[in-house]
Amino acid sequence: MPCITLPDGSQRHYPQAVSALRVAEDISPSLAGNSVAARVAGRIVDVGALIEEDAALQLITSGDPEGLAILRHSCAHLLAMAVKTLHPDAQVTIGPIIEDGFFYDFACEHSFTPDDLERIEALMRELATADLPVTRRVVPGDEAIALFERQGEHYKAELVRAIPEGEAVSLYRHGSFEDLCRGPHVPRTGLLRAFKLTKVAGAYWRGDARNPMLQRIYGTCWADAEALDAYLVRQEEAARRDHRKLAADLDLFHFEDSAPGSVFWHPKGWTLFQQLIAYMRARHDAAGYVEVNTPDVMDRALWETSGHWLNYRDHMFTTVTEDERVLALKPMNCPGAVSLFAHGLKSYRDLPLRMAEFGKVHRYEPSGALHGLLRVRHFTQDDAHIFCTPAQMPGECARTIALIFDIYKDFGFTDITVKLSTRPANRIGSDALWDTLEAALAGALSQMDIPHRLNPGEGAFYGPKLEFVLRDAIGRDWQCGTLQVDLNLPERFDIAYIDADGNRARPVMLHRALFGSLERFTGILIEHFGGQLPAWLSPVQAMVLTISEGQDDYARHVQRALRQAGLRTGIDLRNEKISYKIREHSLQKLPFLLVVGDREKAEGRVSLRLRGNTTASSLELPALVAHLCREARQPGLDIAPLN
């Protein structure tokens, strides 16, 4: 006679095993109609699963985050059913959920087109409207293999073969379609009301280029039509803000097949990039960092000691010299920082030692994963490694967290989520050591009263980390900064300092990146601002425009005055109508347009048009220079240096 305890503390007793759906029906028919799954004794299960003993029960609806994930997973199965109905010879492979949606990979002779997606989506709607019941059964592995082989689903059979021998296999069916899946899933297809297929792309089986190429169909699914419509509007806005399109319009950078995953920076783009570095250097100076630089290529032995060779080898570019030395382009800056610390004797009086580096790193990313500045193979990290005593560790963690939040505020990011990523399965160091390091990060957040989410198993192989996720102007989340605490690398490299008693002591090593990748952060900024960068970041801050040739000398005088004040200023002396010039430079999203005609020349004034404004104001040249200097001042310059 199970006793069911509900979230409000109330209890319900049943004479025999009962499903979560039956409990929902007893509470409210509308709750039962909207329930997609249930959490029973802390585990999420199908809403139809039987509860045979006393348990806590929470019903999950489509409005819950877990419910939305289940909707999307079930929608992937609906997609597979529709494809199999239209293309019976297609083989289904895997269909997981992803951020804001799902995908399913198919092996199919027919090449899917946008028209195909429309037909598939229409059939999905018919199947959803049919409100087909979704049922689960568990079978032995060999029975599942035989089933999928009979159906010609060889990829599914391969997936089942990878399941440990003796472990039961769960299958989900709606209508005539049955798929391999752990679940849970919605109890009926009628709960899938708001979805859309978005695109088709290629993908290798198991992500390995040595395997067959499959066709991947992407889709999105939401709890209701309003949420779906809002998402599609965001996607349209995201397409308008795409940093690759804006980079072409604004002449910032480009990519070529001759250097896959590496950026060709144009002058204006490189100016923007250097402004980010200048800003971070100023913040580093104020926060007590010293800047260093380490080699791009280092011997394999260093990477073996650090653990990267064992844990990160597949992502590293390597070469062998004539004398058979194996060298690797650095994928991370950490071992170089350790080598710097190890050079020469260090005392406790030297700590904390905060070493910053704008280090170029190289990581092999699959070709299909490359995406403009957001996913590259060659990039710059605003890295820093802080070496401190164990007693200094909590303070250094708190100081770094405060710096990260303050820097993001300067760029207009105020909605920030912090994730604590804990020990991964593939790691170095003892559990006791990981306990200490994870507690240090959690303690710093608690002390600063900063809420955080747990991200189990996603830490680096050498230590746990905090991940800082920024929400941009159109509601997208970007993981940027990280903070990691590490006692493993100091131990593996056997580095030490001399403590107050004259003994060797092991330092704590903090790994810290604020922008993360400068390339990626640049892409995020371009999209966040829609190309309308703040005046202090804009590659060209002001453009001087003449109405006719008679003002050329005065326009050059204005440009010189602005440049002498440190403003990045261009000039347009072309024999074109002023309306044409204004329109052309407005499309370049420049913060300030400065128009000079005969009246301005005679009076020593300038007509100022601000970005986005159709009206202009007239200022005397000295007042204009002072005003623009204030408007374009780099933030963070007034911060007092750390004592």
- Which are the catalytic amino acids? 334, 363, 381, 383, 385, 465, 511
Query: Nearest-CA neighbor of 472 among 427, 395, 537, 524?
Result: 524
The neighbour count for residue 228, using CB atoms within 10 Å, is 17
| 389, 507 contact by CB (below 8 A) | yes
Please give the radius of gyration of the chain, using alpha carbons only, rounded to the nearest integer.
Answer: 30
Closest by Cα among 329, 345, 338 to 306 = 338
Binding-site annotation, residues for Zn(2+): 334, 385, 511
CA distances from 527 to 220, 368, 417, 524 (A): 22, 21, 19, 5
Residue 212: cis peptide before it, omega within 30 degrees of 0:
no
Distance CA 470, CA 423 (A): 23
The residues, any chain, with a CB within 8 Å of residue 122's CB and separated by 6 or more, are: none
Other CB atoms within a 10 A radius of the CB of residue 559 amount to 18
Question: Which residue type, as a one-letter code, is found at position 19?
Answer: S
Q: Which residues pair with 508 in a beta bridge?
A: 388
List own/partner pairs for 440-448 with CB under 8 A and 24 or more apart: 440/393, 440/394, 440/397, 440/485, 441/397, 441/465, 441/466, 441/483, 441/485, 443/394, 443/397, 444/394, 444/397, 444/398, 444/401, 445/401, 445/418, 445/420, 447/394, 447/398, 448/398, 448/401, 448/402
Around Cβ 273, how many Cβ atoms within 10 Å?
A: 20
Rounded-to-integer distance, Cα 363 and Cα 71, Å: 35
The tokens for 376 are: 């590259």
Peptide bond connecting 490 to the previous residue in cis, omega within 30 degrees of 0: no
> Within a 10 A sphere around the Cβ of 133, how many other Cβ atoms?
13
Q: How far apart are CA 245 and CA 257, in angstroms?
A: 18
Amino acid 311 reads N
Contacts (Cβ under 8 Å, ≥6 apart) of 92: 80, 83, 84, 104, 105, 106, 153, 155, 156, 179
CA distance 515 to 482: 9
Nearest one of 481, 482, 508 to 495, comparing CA atoms: 508
β-pair partners for 388: 508
Q: Report CA dihedral (273, 277, 282, 286) to the nearest 10 degrees.
A: 140
- Cβ(51)–Cβ(17) below 8 Å: yes
